Amino acid sequence: MTIGIIGGGQLGMMIAEAAKKKHYKTICLDPNPLCSASHVCDEVIVGSFNDLTKLQELGSKSDVLTYEFENIDALGLNYIKENYNIPEGTEPLYISQNRLREKGNAIACGLEPVPYQQVLNKIDLLAALAKIGYPALYKTTTLGYDGHGQYLIKSLADIDQIPFNTEGILEAYLDFDYECSIIMIRDKEKIVSLPISINKHKHGILDLSIVGQKLPIFNKIEEASYSFMEKAGFYGILCIEYFVKGDKFYFNEMAPRPHNSGHWSIEGSTLSQYDLLVSFLTKEKLEEPHLKGNTIMKNILSEDYAKLPLFKNKPGIYIHDYFKTELKPRRKMAHITFTDLTYIDYLEKYNKIFEGEKHE
Ligand code: ADP
Ligand code: MG
């Protein structure tokens, strides 16, 4: 059986690693012949995600398709949906590509985002600010990732930096207690999920995912997330990110693919998000994953990449290098998983080694 993966970044690489353990073949489609997944996949088809002839090549060589890259255009999505076996469908991806669609769908399926308004121009923004108040966050509706396309508005003067060259939204800036995410996998029989992780960011980019503590609110979040997935009619893998403030939780965004906040599961869970996705794609029975113990995942960006060797050959520490050939500012280059480590111990032992010690 061959799994075709649209995208060959680190997520594609880790899907391919999980598939390989079970002796499935993998082929990825990526513009870069030396992409991360090329180090693991059996074949790389070099081309754009929106090139129908390349999608056709991938589809015809694969028994099942999945995606690790979110911005495939509507034409490409329709083409694969109509011609190939993509068990997750393309609807979750289509919804997640646009923040307005994504938040509208969240509300329709029982989740609550922070207050937001559509914004096309300065006039809309002023009207939205009058309703939402300060501080607020302007985000482009499409193509945002790792905090790109976001502007924090603390006062009227801050709106001058916004280019208004695309559709945007204004949302209330929430002084949350913490952020967390859940990763679920659903087949026709049931939904299974990984334990909820608490996520700490630096400069709008995920820095740490912390797992092990089960807070009382997590039961409610899990219940609402399962119900969301059923109401939305989604199958396959889905990550939902939340903000938590007091006893309330707010939908931030969703990703219908493996998620950075689930990397910890490779070592910290009996089954990782990648193992579960592979089981889903190959129609194996979905088993319940179990937490092994306190686990922390630390993202390594370009700025800290040279420090990676410090963590080599240490018990309970696992390095995942993405083999990227170019260091760009704040690019995710690798991650490290620490098993049997609590957040307090992490801060004491390791946090000071890295750039920008403070979490948001
Ligand atoms: P993306 O991950 O697509 O760049 P997000 O909407 O998840 O975009 O924003 C990135 C991070 O910025 C969030 O994880 C959070 O730390 C912060 N952030 C986003 N929206 C808000 C908000 N409304 N209030 C407070 N912080 C926010
Ligand atoms: Mg996010």
Give the tens place of pLDDT for each residue, 264-276.
999 999 999 999 9
147 Cα–ligand 1 center, Å: 6
One DSSP character per residue, 237-288 reads EEEEEEEEETTEEEEEEEESS--GGGTTHHHHBSS-HHHHHHHHHTTPPPPP
- Asked if residue 144 has pLDDT above 80, the reply is no
At residue 167, the pLDDT reads: 92
- Asked if residue 129 has pLDDT above 80, the reply is yes
Give the nearest ligand 1 atom to 174 CA.
Answer: 24
Query: Are the beta carbons of 205 and 354 closer than 8 angstroms?
Result: no
312 Cα–ligand 1 center, Å: 32
Range list for CATH 3.40.50.20 in the chain:
2-86
For the stretch 149-191, pLDDT in tens is 899 999 999 999 888 888 999 999 999 999 999 999 999 999 9
CB atoms within 10 A of CB 359: 14
What pTM, to 2 d.p., does this model score?
0.96
Given the candidates 3.30.420.270, 3.40.50.720, 3.40.50.20, 3.90.79.10, the CATH classification of the domain at 2-86 is 3.40.50.20
At residue 204, the pLDDT reads: 86
- Asked if residue 136 has pLDDT above 90, the reply is yes
For the stretch 321-339, pLDDT in tens is 999 999 999 999 999 999 9
- Asked if residue 77 has pLDDT above 90, the reply is no
| Pocket, ligand 1, Cβ cutoff 6 A | 114, 137, 144-147, 171-174, 179, 201, 204, 241, 252-253, 360
Copy the structure tokens of residue 115.
């207050």
Identify which of 137, 148, 171, 245 to mutate to test ligand 1's pocket (most ligand atoms within 8 A of the CB). 137
Identify which of 150, 173, 200, 208 to mutate to test ligand 1's pocket (most ligand atoms within 8 A of the CB). 150
Q: Is 256 exposed, middle or buried (0-12, 13-18, 19+ CB in 10 A)?
A: buried
At residue 299, the pLDDT reads: 98
CB atoms within 10 A of CB 108: 11
Range list for CATH 3.30.1490.20 in the chain:
115-172
At residue 17, the pLDDT reads: 98
Distances (CA, A) of 104 to 13, 96, 111, 112, 226: 32, 11, 10, 10, 18
**Fold classification of 178-354 (topology level):** D-amino Acid Aminotransferase; Chain A, domain 1 (3.30.470)
Confidence category of residue 146, pLDDT binned at 50, 70, 90: confident
At residue 34, the pLDDT reads: 97
Give the nearest ligand 1 atom to 136 CA.
Answer: 23
Q: What is the mean pLDDT of residues 112-133?
A: 96
Amino acid type, 104: G
The whole-chain average pLDDT of the chain stands at 95
Nearest CA to ligand 1 atom 15: 204
For the stretch 287-311, pLDDT in tens is 999 999 999 999 999 999 999 999 9
Query: Are the beta carbons of 135 and 125 closer than 8 angstroms?
Result: no
Q: Cis link prior to 115 (omega < 30° from 0)?
A: no
41 Cα–ligand 2 center, Å: 27
Q: What is the SS3 assignment for 129? A: helix
What pairs with residue 191 in β-bridges? 186
> For 115-172, CATH number?
3.30.1490.20
Range list for CATH 3.30.470.20 in the chain:
178-354
Q: Provide the strand spans (E) within 89-228.
A: 116-119, 136-140, 150-153, 168-172, 178-186, 191-193, 197-202, 205-211
On the CB side of 328, how many CA atoms lie within 13 Å of its CA? 4
